[in-house]
Structure 1
Amino acid sequence: MTASIPTALSLLDLVAVREGGSVRDALAIALATARHAESLGFKRYWLAEHHNMDGIASSATAVLVGHIAAGTERMRVGSGGVMLPNHAPLVVAEAFGTLAELFPGRIDLGLGRAPGTDPLTMRALRRDRPETQEDFPRDVAELQRLLAPPEPGQRLVATPGAGTNVPIWLLGSSLFSAQLAAERGLPYAFASHFAPRLLLQAIDLYRRLYKPSAHWPKPYVVIGVPLIAAPTDEEAQFLASSTYQRVLGILKGERRKLAPPVAGLVEHLSPQERAAIGEFLAAAVIGGPDSVRSGMEALLKATQADELMLVCDVFDPALRLRSLDIAAAARAQLQATGNF
């Protein structure tokens, strides 16, 4: 990597609902965060689809994409991602086609193949039909057709949607989506912010098998990076205890609101719990400015990623913005030395 081709920084937001806060508060924090990220030069701001989770307010993903895009000016905004098993491709094409008409050149459509929720909620989403391995590639292909210019005689046309060519991204934490993205010539985002185990294997497979496409002549890799930054390593570890509590809740099947940080949390965990958190957050960058800079540099050297998609769940919204400031400063320092 050289300074002339800098790796970009972006942000993935689950729109966390904080303890003592409301959904309305979470939505306001998301917009303020997006505006701050844009002021720092972040390339894109993505929102993740989840359902029936007390602590996450990003279920109506397309609505939130429009809200964030309307409140910003230049940054790309999109889904990271829409969970395709929950939706008919035509509905997705119409929603994101509408967004593309409202915000030309600024909308991304990231797609995941997991439902992102439990079986009860899947049935409530009217998707109780068992999914097969062939469904996701077929639905991706249908979305590509619906967002492309219509062919002569094409009977099913997404209006809006047809001809908008909204960029489609494939998301994943396994080798399946990496291979599919390579075959289709699509950009690929690996979910290393929560499932980093296959990161290096997946992006190597993606790059080796990549077939150039009209819109993407070269492979393009984004990796998810949990980020907690502060003036010192000690404060960053304290702030990260909110994320540690969230991770423990996920591992135990308990989806709760984002909790405030707790001093000495790690010291009171069992070795098994500490190991589980460490595995979940193996790609995390947590610390003061020097640790953040070295952590980002190490990830880039290991992955040669084209973009780092930060996930920053700090309980105090102002300290969350400070984390982004520190990450942006680290990027600038690395770029100045040719390491970013």
Structure 2
Amino acid sequence: MGTQCEPGEARLDPGLSVITGERRQLINLAYRLLGSLADAEDAVQEACVRWYAMSPRQREAIESPGGWLAKVAGRICLDQLRSARARRERYVGAWIPEPLPDRTEWWEGRPGGAAADPADRVTLDESVGMAFLVVLESMTPAERVAFILHDVFRYSFAEVAEIVGRSPAACRQLASSARRRMRASPAPAMSAARSSDVVRDFKQAWEAKDIAALIGLLDPGATALADGGGLVDAAIHPVVGGEQIARYLIAVAGKVPRQTILERTVNGRPGLVVQHAGVTTSVIAFEVVGDRITRCWAVRNPEKLWAWTA
């Protein structure tokens, strides 16, 4: 990566103390825009590089370094989203956003430097839930940027327009279109405690290879998606139906008999982490409605599991 925005440099650059204070906000913004913690870190880092590419006089002329960085990071993310659409058309199987661990789990086994990791700077709320991020993937890049900036981070449409490169009225329409997509794919709010009970029962049934119990925990119309990125074995197409998902999971468990299944927080909600020989091989997020699981997202692409590897 390029130049780091380090707190120690604030003594040399009066504007850097503001930039350092904005870094958490920038990571939060970029992760929601890109659905990838690694790409979010790179986008924010690139914004810092562009800041230091300017002369001291140019930097001093900027009234709000944090606001300037947010605009630059937003434009970088928009460019990445546009190029990502073409890349994802060639992606092998389903593309699922990069799963995010809880900050306490990110720290485990990472003495020294853990506090500097980007996951520690991402606020976990409903806007990083897997269901929310998956709906964002259905939006155009401009819709996604306008919606996240305005509805989640409360930027004015005039500010959004500067980033998207359209008029404030056009950005208002983009955000409105994005809201319609959200309303068409509602994610019912379940208490974390109740969801945790269902996910725990699911884990125990999977470990016991109890197909009847698994079917009972899965909605009859449940859908499961797996993201292997063509790098590891994963179902290319969605697995639809509670019984079909249960049988698929039992078959997977039979292929890897010594796997370990752990309860973890995935994107702020109860989820599971699958490990083999101490290496994380899958991170699974769930949508729970009532007492049953309606959707499962299993990320197996090792390039998306770096935040889960000690």
What TM-score results when the alignment is normalised by the length of structure 1?
0.26
Pair member with larger Rg = 2
Larger relative helix fraction: 2
What TM-score results when the alignment is normalised by the length of structure 2?
0.27
